[in-house]
A = this chain, B = another copy of it.
Amino acid sequence: MKNERTLLTELLQFRGQQRQDTVVATGDDGYIFRAGDTLLCVSTDSFCEGVHFLHEHYSPQQIGEKVYEATVSDIAAMGGKPTSIFLSLALSEKTPEEYLPALYRGIEQRAIAHGVEIGGGETTSHLSDHPLITVTALGIISGEEAICPRSGAELGDKIYVTGNLGGSAAGFKALTTKVAGFQKLKDIHLTPRARVDLVDTIAPLASSMIDISDGLSSEIHHICKASNCGAVINADLIPIDAETKELASLTGVRALDFALGGGEDFELLFTSSQNIDTELAHCIGEITGNDTILLQNKDKKEPLIVTGYQHFTPLP
């Protein structure tokens, strides 16, 4: 089977009947359309046990929290605030009875934190022992100026991230290699938080935005491809916290590789022509006019290779 990216590019050709009320079409983190004067955003995401998460690491409630946050993170990345979600759960006969209510509790707890209603839930049986959870989120975008498509980056824009990167990947490493301690990193991986809290402040300032779900190297490529531009990222400016560095050194991984290739940090990566307060976001580079994406590491500048996770490749 082709890799996910090639496949998605092909499938993007199928758009059905293009509508006049569409503002941002398929191919971005979410679809934006107009209903009267209201701008609405929709995004959908699926999570399969054994592919996207492993039962041995998570409680059912943590799975609920994480699938919720991962989905509303896409709404935030478009400049929206989530309002309602819709669940579809495919389970086998073997799923324990207590699994579903616990999963729902996790989802509901986070939904309430954001003022989000669970608008629908469907369960179905499927012929696999690995639960598959699909979450669709709806959100509202406050106005035209808050829309943040991937395609909005412009020459000279600064590139920002809203928080530390690589923590989730480091937490995953700590869990899989059974390193004791590092609970903070493990929590970042198990119960991440989408940056819905920053949307009101950042969305009006950002020219383009995406959430870090597959790793910085992958996300900056998405922005540059959609915006038809290049970028230089300065390795020294990428925010990585002390625990991530410590775990990296302990496990023989470059901390930078956690940040570039490790996904699921769910921080926001955005571009802006404005100087953003350092309390709000970290400037890590600049948009350039050509179509090359470079990593400046001390005196060396080299092409930034995509190392993010791809589906349809063998699992580690």
Smallest Cβ distance from A93 to chain B, in angstroms? 5
Please report which residues of chain A, range 14-53, place their CB below 8 angstroms from some CB of chain B when the two chains form the complex. 14-19, 21-22, 25-26, 30-31, 33, 35-38, 40, 42-52
Smallest Cβ distance from A232 to chain B, in angstroms? 31
Provided the pairs A48-B126, A126-B128, A127-B51 are in contact, do residues A117 and B25 lie with their beta carbons within 8 angstroms? yes
Question: What is the copy number of this chain in the assembly?
Answer: 2
CB-based contact B19/A88 at 8 Å: no
CB-based contact A42/B119 at 8 Å: yes
Judged by a CB distance under 8 angstroms, whether A108 is at the interface is yes
Collect the chain B residues with CB atoms within 8 Å of residue A30's CB: 120
Judged by a CB distance under 8 angstroms, whether A231 is at the interface is no
A93-106: CB near B (< 8 Å → 1, else 0) gives: 11101001100110
Smallest Cβ distance from A279 to chain B, in angstroms? 29
Collect the chain B residues with CB atoms within 8 Å of residue A21's CB: 83
Smallest Cβ distance from A4 to chain B, in angstroms? 6
CB-based contact B130/A128 at 8 Å: yes
CB-based contact A126/B130 at 8 Å: yes
Judged by a CB distance under 8 angstroms, whether A276 is at the interface is no
Smallest Cβ distance from A163 to chain B, in angstroms? 25
A19 to B112, CA, bound (A): 10
Collect the chain B residues with CB atoms within 8 Å of residue A42's CB: 84, 86, 119-120, 136, 138
Collect the chain B residues with CB atoms within 8 Å of residue A37's CB: 36
Which of the segments A5-13, A153-161, A282-290 contacts the partner chain?
A5-13
Judged by a CB distance under 8 angstroms, whether A118 is at the interface is yes
Please report which residues of chain A, range 269-316, place their CB below 8 angstroms from some CB of chain B when the two chains form the complex. 311-312
CB-based contact B127/A128 at 8 Å: yes
Collect the chain B residues with CB atoms within 8 Å of residue A83's CB: 19, 21, 33
A4 to B100, CA, bound (A): 12
Judged by a CB distance under 8 angstroms, whether A181 is at the interface is no
The interface of chain A, by Cβ under 8 A from chain B, is: 1-2, 4, 7-8, 10-12, 14-19, 21-22, 25-26, 30-31, 33, 35-38, 40, 42-52, 83-88, 90-91, 93-95, 97, 100-101, 104-105, 107-108, 111-112, 114-128, 130, 132, 134, 136, 138, 140, 311-312
CB-defined A-B contacts under 8 Å, sample of 10 = A7-B123, A11-B121, A19-B115, A26-B119, A36-B36, A38-B38, A40-B40, A48-B124, A52-B124, A124-B311
